[in-house]
Amino acid sequence: MACNCSSGSLTCCKDQEYVQDKVCMPWAGEVPTGAAAVVTVSVYTNNFGQNLVATGYLQYDSGPEPITVQAIGANNTVIGTPITLTPGTSTSFTFRRFNELQVILPVAAAGEGPFAGEFCATVRYPLA
């Protein structure tokens, strides 16, 4: 029988060991009065390398305006379509090969009060 390591068949594939970690934490941010640009809150930074996979959620508990959630990949490019959340909502995600997960606070909310929520992710990466 021939070896086949395609996604549909895993016969004769080399064993790999993966590490899985879960991280949960509150996030918060404010847009200062008179701000001329959006405020970016980095909720997670990948310091493991390009083989990282993360599954989780971002909860937006309170704030004056909708926010945007986005994953940033190589060369600071946005991965996929940014997700817009309104206060009291959340989104789940699975991202692969990303460098950073960001919450973007709108400039329209300058001086209107704090934004807050919770970020939780389970990250997996192969042992080298």
Q: How confident is the model at residue 15 (pLDDT cuts 50, 70, 90)?
A: low
Buried b (16+ CB within 10 A) or exposed e, 23-52: eeeebebbbeeebeeebebebbebeeeeeb
DSSP 9: -
Report the pLDDT averaged over residues 9-25. Answer: 71
Strands 39-45 and 100-105: antiparallel
Six-digit token string for 95: 């991202």
- Looking from the CA of 2 toward its CB, the CA atoms found within 13 Å total 3
* Topology at the third CATH level for domain 18-126: Jelly Rolls (2.60.120)
Inform me whether the pLDDT recorded for 37 exceeds 60.
Answer: yes
Q: How far apart, in whole angstroms, are the C-alpha atoms of residue 114 and residue 31?
A: 8
Q: How confident is the model at residue 35 (pLDDT cuts 50, 70, 90)?
A: very high
Six-digit token string for 84: 């817009």
Reported pTM = 0.81
Report the pLDDT averaged over residues 40-54. Answer: 84
